[in-house]
Each structure stands twice: as C-alpha cells, then as structure tokens.
Chain A
C-alpha cells in the first residue's frame, strides 16, 4: 500500500474546499465546501493512522538514543487506533457544525430574504433590542428622560 496516494487525494480535496469557500457566493454551497475540507482532514487522519511518517521507508528514522523508551513513546505505542478515533470525533464535530450552520443560514434567509453572502452587510445591521419578554408584561411608564419611542427597550 502506497500511502502517498490517499495523502495526495486528501491534499487536493482540501485545496478544492478552500477554492469553493472563496469562490462560492451561496451560503449553502460554502457549507458544502467546508464539508469537503473536513472530509479531506478525515482522510488525512485515517491515512496517518495507517501510515505514520515513522513507517515511511524512504527516510531513515533516527534511532532513539535513550536506552529506555520514554513514557510518551510507550503511550503512543499503546494507542493503535488514534487516527481513526480522531476521525470519529471530527465527524461528530462536523455534524454539529452543519446543524448550527444551517440554522444560521435559514435564519439569515428569513431575515434578509437571501443567502448570498456578499449581500450581507455587517455594518448595516440595526442593533437588536435584546431578548424581550414573551409573556404579557405590565405596561411600564415611559421613561421620563428618554426621547426614544421604543418603549423602554428592556
């Protein structure tokens, strides 16, 4: 098994993801490109689990000079499926990310009527008045000194 093949595939997929994030204007397509990047990292982790750099025969790995192995080396030798475990973790994080990201995209579409990320003006946003009470609050007297018409924005 030649590990350079999946490594190069992972690198190219990551480059495609970067290109897609920079090129696409639609927020859903940007999320798809982010998924491409996450998958490239997953592929990299799984390949590194199979073929770590120490096993590559092209390069001589310097022999450990310490007579007894360090505890770190023992720990590394005792965990055989670290890359695959991290891949599972990354998949879970990607699922959480896409859930929250799509909620944000849908809310953006509901507020602005578009998901084109170029049209989102970050400085043109009217500030939110914060969370408001859902239950019917007793009518408060208008603030005596405020010229605001928005009734004591709690």
Chain B
C-alpha cells in the first residue's frame, strides 16, 4: 500500500459514499450538492492517476457547469422544498439491476486485476495531451465541435418560445 493507494481508497470511499447519497436522498437540492462531492472526488482520483488535464477539465465542466445547469433545472421546475416523499418508485427492481450491474462489473475487474501493481506513467499534462489531441485525434475533435454546436442549436430550438405558438 503506497500513498497513492491510500489516497485512492479515501477518494473512492468519498465518491461512492456521496454517490449513494445522490441516489437515495429525499432532498432534491441536496442530491445536486452531493453530486458535486462525487464529481470532485472523481477529479481527485484523476489527479492521483496522473490525468492532470482531465482532472481540471472535470472540475471546470462538471462541477462548474453541469451541476449549475442541474441546479437551475431544479429551480425552474418548481421542485419541492425540503424532503419529498414522491421522488422514488418502489426500489427492489432498481436495487436488483443496479446492484447486480455494479457488483458484477466489480467482480469482473477484480478477477482481471487481482492485486497487481503498475507503475504510474508520466503525467498527462496539458502539453502532452494537447499534442496528442491535435495530432492523432483531430478529426474526432472537430466532429465533437460540430456536435456541440448542434446540441446548442437543438437546445435553443427545443426551449424557445415562439409567439403565437403557445399551447
């Protein structure tokens, strides 16, 4: 057990614990705030795994933008304030399938990796990852920019309110 292992165990425990709270809490806003904790812990795991640029991008986009969007949606949809009892449907099929998926995948990966050790590679800094992105992955990068633009236009087209078309 090296320091990286201890750090990953702690961050993983935080991520999984607050993930449990995200899917079980009865407060809508608290689910969003626990989601912040989970995403930040996963960003910390990225840092330990030497994915430096990915960790900062995760903090910027997920914790910064996506959670803010989700909280805006919570506010705009007239969410119940305080504990709400009607957020869940009966739980056993979800628990069965979700638990089966999670534990099955975990068993598969534990079987594949046992308790082996690897050396940490050189960190994925912005320079190295940017060189890789703009040399080998240029076409997916450009396609993703088109996808992002079309998603933006689509979101506007869905939510725009055209006068005379109110239903």
B82 CB within 8 Å of chain A: no
Residues of A within 8 A of B32 (CB): 32
Contact (Cβ within 8 A) A23 B88: yes
Which of A15, A47, A93 has the largest number of chain B CB atoms within 10 A?
A15
Interface size on B, residues (CB 8 A): 96
For chain A, the count of residues having a C-beta within 8 Å of the partner chain is 81
CB–CB A16/B98 < 8 A: yes
Question: What is the interface of chain A, defined by CB distance below 8 A to chain B?
Answer: 1-29, 31-33, 35-36, 39, 42-43, 46-47, 49-51, 53, 55-59, 78-82, 84-85, 87-89, 91-100, 102-107, 109, 111, 115-116, 118, 132, 134
Question: Could you list some 30 contacts between A and B, CB below 8 A?
Answer: A1-B8, A1-B49, A2-B115, A4-B116, A7-B109, A8-B12, A10-B105, A14-B102, A14-B105, A15-B98, A15-B100, A15-B106, A22-B94, A22-B98, A23-B89, A25-B86, A50-B49, A56-B114, A57-B116, A79-B132, A84-B53, A85-B129, A87-B54, A99-B151, A102-B72, A103-B154, A106-B76, A132-B165, A134-B164, A134-B165
Additional A-B contacts beyond A35-B62, A102-B73 (12; CB < 8 A): A2-B1, A2-B8, A4-B110, A13-B38, A20-B23, A20-B94, A32-B32, A58-B115, A84-B53, A100-B154, A103-B158, A132-B165
Measured CB to CB, the residues of B under 8 A from A are: 1-2, 4-5, 8-9, 12, 15-16, 19-20, 22-23, 28, 31-32, 35, 38-39, 42, 45-46, 49-51, 53-54, 57-58, 61-62, 65-66, 69-70, 72-74, 76-79, 86-89, 91, 93-95, 97-103, 105-106, 108-110, 112-121, 124, 128-129, 132-133, 136-137, 140-141, 144, 147-148, 151-152, 154-156, 158-159, 162-165, 167
